[in-house]
Amino acid sequence: MSLLKIIPKIIYKDVQIGVRLFAALGFETKYSEDGFYIMARDGVTIYLVASEDDFYVNDRPEMRIDTDDIEGFYAEVTSKHPEILHPNLKVIKNQPWGLKEFAVLDETTVCIIIQQAI
């Protein structure tokens, strides 16, 4: 048996914030219905869910997306949507734990770290 991937679910009061963020990263909506979205790009899938409850208030998610071309993806993001770059990791940085990383952030502080092994 092998685990193949993780599919995170992010809860938003205004789910369109998440839809805009992931669309800016090149994800496409594969399915949507009543505040539920499945978005995907290059085999990476994310679920976005609208909720009027307070689930979205605290502990906004952080997730990581592996890539095999961090420079190419960074160039794509910076040329199309530089406003989503995380202020604390807005350039590609070689980390001491063996990864190159940059990050994006939406207006609700959902953080997505893009990474590639050094």
18-70 residue pLDDT tens: 999 999 999 999 999 999 999 999 999 999 999 877 765 666 788 899 999 99
Residues whose CB falls within 8 Å of the CB of residue 76, separated by 6 or more in sequence, listed in order: 26
For the chain, how big is the Rg over CA atoms in Å?
A: 14
Domain that holds residue 31: 9-117
> Is the separation of the CB atoms in 70 and 115 below 8 Å?
yes
What the block records as the tokens of 52 is 């009027």
Contact present, 90 and 50 (Cβ < 8 Å): no
* Residue 10 pLDDT exceeds 60: yes
Within a domain: 43 = yes
With a threshold of 0.85, does the pTM exceed it? Answer: no
At 74, which CATH number? 3.10.180.10
Residue type, 62: E
**Number of domains within the chain:** 1
Q: How far is the C-alpha of 118 from the C-alpha of 16, rounded, in Å?
A: 34
